[in-house]
Amino acid sequence: MTIQDPITVVGAGLMGTGIAHAFVATGHAVTLVDNQPAALQRATAGIGKILADGVRLGKATQADADAALARLKTAAGLGEAPRDSQLVVETATENLAIKQALMREAESLFAAETVFATNTSALSITEIAAAINTPRRVIGMHFFNPVHKMKLVELVRGLETSGETLARVQAWVTAIGKTSIEVNEAPGFTTSRISALLGNEAMYMLAEGVARAEDIDTSLRMAFNHPMGPLELGDLTGWDTRLVVLQYLHQTLGEKFRPCPLIIKLVKSGRHGRKTGRGIYEYDAQGQKVPNSGIRPF
């Protein structure tokens, strides 16, 4: 299967930054789209930083990093992206109406062979695809955070996703040096379903006063060899996104996914995680976790 450019990534938040980086760093031309100019600026700076870190660590040369950054363009709307984009990766806010509207806009703009992938964490691929007349070309392409460190991409087939769409996306995943798994659509796929449950249970333990945040995270890291604890991971993912996922899983899979009230409190207070500088823990200006800063809910 030949790998084709150009690629459009829509949504320049946490994930759009990492996904755009993954493609430009492996030689692909990317247009990164967001309707918030500040998000595009942050994403461009973020991609520059990942590339600079790669040079500092001896993983790439300065010339490689410069060439990668030169392959990145930004745009305020899908209408400014190249009409011959072969792959559009939608990674905007986790909201069905936003994702369906972006699919409809993409269908009106791009060629019939363009594949539309969505990076939704848990929403139904079938329902996102139902917004357009060509659902065969919609697929879940679920990346993990931070994208430049995480090897897996979970490919999720909706009811109408064609075998050709799957095969083309598998080839793109291989081309950016990652590994894909194939999953038939179910709420939360394989990864978000497990991760949301684990994070929610950790929050209930914190809320019940079973242990301090630091100790809950240490238990998962040291007893089970998880690279991060579930509360640290929630700070990285963003509790706002985590809450939307849990609400959807609660609605579709039932009671065991009822969001812990402490997550709702955290989101209401603006403690969304690393991206707002405060979540379960606090982070300094360099993004480093402040020691012993875990919240004490009592």
Nearer to ligand NAD, 4 or 124 (CB): 124
**Nearest-CB residue for ligand NAD:** 13
Nearer to ligand NAD, 124 or 237 (CB): 237
User: For residues 226, 230, 236 and 239, what is the CA-based torsion angle, rounded to 10 degrees?
Assistant: 160
Quote the least distance from Cβ 188 to ligand NAD, whole Å: 11
The token duo for 227 is 């690279």
Quote the least distance from Cβ 31 to ligand NAD, whole Å: 12
Nearer to ligand NAD, 74 or 237 (CB): 237
Nearer to ligand NAD, 10 or 25 (CB): 10
Cα(141)–Cα(249) distance, integer angstroms: 19
Quote the least distance from Cβ 240 to ligand NAD, whole Å: 7
Site residues (vs ligand NAD, CB under 6 A): 10-16, 33-36, 39, 91-94, 98, 102, 119-121, 142-143, 145, 237-238, 241
Quote the least distance from Cβ 115 to ligand NAD, whole Å: 17
Nearer to ligand NAD, 4 or 272 (CB): 272
Nearer to ligand NAD, 239 or 294 (CB): 239
User: What string of H, E and C letters represents the secondary structure of the chain?
Assistant: CCCCCCEEEECCCHHHHHHHHHHHCCCCCEEEECCCHHHHHHHHHHHHHHHHHHHHCCCCCHHHHHHHHHCEEEECCHHHCCCCCCEEEECCCCCHHHHHHHHHHHHHHCCCCCEEEECCCCCCHHHHHCCCCCHHHEEEEECCCCCCCCCEEEEEECCCCCHHHHHHHHHHHHHCCCEEEEEECCCCCCHHHHHHHHHHHHHHHHHCCCCCHHHHHHHHHHHHCCCCCHHHHHHHHCHHHHHHHHHHHHHHHCHHHCCCHHHHHHHHCCCCEHHHCECCCEECCCCCECCCCCCCCC
Quote the least distance from Cβ 148 to ligand NAD, whole Å: 13
Quote the least distance from Cβ 61 to ligand NAD, whole Å: 29
One-letter amino acid for residue 244 of the chain = V
Nearer to ligand NAD, 93 or 269 (CB): 93
Quote the least distance from Cβ 272 to ligand NAD, whole Å: 9
